[in-house]
Amino acid sequence: MNYRQQYAPGPASAVQVCQFWSTRMDALERHLSANTWALAAIPVVLTAYPIAQLVIPAILHGIVSRGIVPDVVRTVLNLI
């Protein structure tokens, strides 16, 4: 056996990797302080906000332009 064979994935390795990852994440979550969670939330918000600013209007525009929405709702959305 060469040194690579001992690291070759076996049939149960995917399950073992998921269990290992889950255990490590659980331990990490138990030991993080509230300040750390707040700092971790900042990049999530900074990423999600521009996506929401682009995606939601695009979806609304697509719905309105296809005529799925009644004229009253289309008028209100155009006013916004």
Contacts of 74 (CB under 8 A, 6+ apart): 64
DSSP state of 4: T
Structural domain of residue 19, as residue ranges? 5-79
Q: What is the mean pLDDT of residues 20-25?
A: 85
Q: Work out the pLDDT band at 28, boundaries 50, 70, 90.
A: confident
pLDDT over 90 (residue 80):
no
What distance in Å separates the CA atoms of residue 71 and residue 64, rounded to the nearest whole number? 9
pLDDT over 90 (residue 27):
no
C-alpha dihedral (23, 26, 28, 33), degrees to nearest 10: -170
Of 49-53, 57-61, 67-71, 74-78, where does mean pLDDT reach its minimum? 67-71
- How many structural domains does the chain have? 1
Q: What is the mean pLDDT of the chain?
A: 79
What distance in Å separates the CA atoms of residue 41 and residue 48, rounded to the nearest whole number? 10
Contacts of 24 (CB under 8 A, 6+ apart): none
Rg of the chain over all Cα atoms, to the nearest angstrom: 24
The 10s digit of each residue's pLDDT in 38-64 is: 998 999 999 999 888 888 888 877 776
